[in-house]
Structure 1
Amino acid sequence: MQLRGSVAPVGATLFSLVILAIAVSFTALAPQSAEAAIITVQGTANPFLADPTNIPDAGNDLLDGIAPTVFDLAKLPGENKLNIVSFGAYDTYSGPDPSPPNHAGSNLDGTLSLVSAAALGGISGWNDLPRGSLVGIFLGPTVGLAPAPNTQATTDLQISPLLGQVFFIGDGLTGTGTGATQEFFVPDGATKLLLAVLDAPHWQDNTGSARTVVMSAIPEPSSMALLAAGLAAAALVRRQRPGRR
């Protein structure tokens, strides 16, 4: 087992070191050939910007925000099944609070507010996904011209997205903070996994972030559930550091 800090390097902060130690200890149960990466996904990450022909535009409610965080699947050569476990929270509404469900709360499974959107460019839309949830998109070297069908949230143990299809990840467990670790099958032709936040419209006013562990799927789902709990504990340690509010 090798652990790699990928898109967002693991810095020498207490929070990062705690996460790194937890990830090493629990992913040690995986086969020796497995690898993992710890990735930070910002609240302004817009899934539609996974298509490079969808140009970021602060004046367009569906194209504001930033591009999704990219994980290069070459770091997991030959792997066709992933565990994706995350901890964090997003706030998808930064103004006065006329509608509390717009706030993401304390987990990445999102809010009671459901969002639907049509496809844009080569990226699919979605039907009734929770606002403020973590989502993923698998892409190949190029983005297809015809988007995949819209998706919905699922608590299934195994999930098989299509190329260019926005799919629900949440915290990566079959329940919110509990249950088995979900397995995400990599579609044929995929070269990268992009991670973003479910909203629409307006991504640029979102706040918060997620720490996400992407790794080869392992047969002990309980160990990854413990990893998710460990990430939560790490975040608690971070909040309780002196001088933090």
Structure 2
Amino acid sequence: MKPIDWRIGRHAGAIAVALLWGVVGGEGRAANFVVTVEGADAIYLAGRTDLTVPDPSAPWTGPGDYLVRHGGPTPEEAKESFPSVISVVAGDVVRVLDPTIGGINFFNGFGPPYFGPSGNTAAGSNLTALGGLSGYAGPQGPLTGVFLDDAIPVSGPPSALDFSPGGLGQDFLSLSPEIGQVFFIGDGVTSGGVFQEFTAPTGATRLFLGIPDGFGFNGPPGAYDDNDGSYRVVIGVNQTPSIPEPLAITLALSVAVWSLADQAGRRRRAS
């Protein structure tokens, strides 16, 4: 029997709500997680324990693996944060168990507008690689993931996946990304209400959840310092969703309530 592993996130936003371990690998082990992904949770900081995030408005320093920032203060003064992490093994099948809700504003000034977990527009983002993490092409600012092994991803990034309509799009049923390959999750379901599957590759030990961002959503990753809002996602490892499909009306209402509550809370904190 594999012992329980509680290394599920960097903060209280990642909570294990159910955990059952069996034999190692595949469908023999299962876990559920509730994760809150903030607007400043940079997917390009996944696994980068070698980097220190400077205070807002201070310059990044280091060997070159850093996120670009605005030249001056932003209303949010958001500090880039390391993305939440969930332990996995090769062959694990990851699914969203309840369609992701919430909204993030990627522009100067507290929202609205907030953009949902599938991002803004069907395309428009084309970010370059950073360290050992691939570039990203597809919708602007959606919920994304990346599988890593135990190493710090500092070199040799894989090729970028394209989630624009001319590439994989958002309606794929299953995906088997490589180590270090940033991939689209969005709300976790196709337009027809089918829950999507993401399979951990050989060598994978960790799954990170975060946001891809950059100036104009193109070029070097960065521009997180004016983001606010969050996404909330229920992740299942080797779990099958049991809720009715599709949930278009319920999901729309959930997004609206989540966005309003998050906006009110952030304005209170900013005042």
Do the two structures share a fold, i.e. TM-score over 0.5?
yes
Q: Which residue of 2 aligns with 1:187?
A: 201
Q: Which residue of 1 aligns with 2:67?
A: 62
Q: Find the residue that maps to 2:44 and give its secondary structure.
A: helix
> Against the structure 1 CA distance between its residues 71 and 229, is the aligned structure 2 distance closer, same or farther, given a 3 Å change threshold?
farther
Paired residue for 2:189, among 154, 173, 176? 173
TM-score by length of 2: 0.65
Distance 2:152 2:253 in 1: 35
2:156 counterpart letter in structure 1: A
1:82 counterpart letter in structure 2: V
1:110 counterpart letter in structure 2: G
Residue 34 in structure 1 maps to residue 30 in structure 2: yes
Q: Find the residue that maps to 1:38 and give its secondary structure.
A: strand
Distance 2:244 2:29 in 1: 17
Q: Find the residue that maps to 2:257 and give its secondary structure.
A: helix
Q: Which residue of 1 aligns with 2:233?
A: 212
- Give the superposition deviation at 1:187: 0.8
Distance 1:213 1:96 in 2: 26
- Give the superposition deviation at 1:95: 3.8
Moved over 6 A (4+): none
Residue 117 in structure 1 maps to residue 122 in structure 2: no
Q: Find the residue that maps to 1:204 and give its secondary structure.
A: helix
Distance 2:236 2:110 in 1: 39
1:183–1:217 contact (8 Å) kept in structure 2: no
The root-mean-square deviation of aligned C-alpha atoms, in Å, is: 4.0
TM-score by length of 1: 0.71
Q: Unpaired runs of 5+ in structure 1? A: 24-30
Residue 82 in structure 1 maps to residue 94 in structure 2: yes
Q: Which residue of 2 aligns with 1:26?
A: none
User: Percent identity among equivalent residues?
Assistant: 29
> Against the structure 1 CA distance between its residues 232 and 194, is the aligned structure 2 distance closer, same or farther, given a 3 Å change threshold?
farther
Which has the larger share of helix?
1
Matched pairs, number: 215
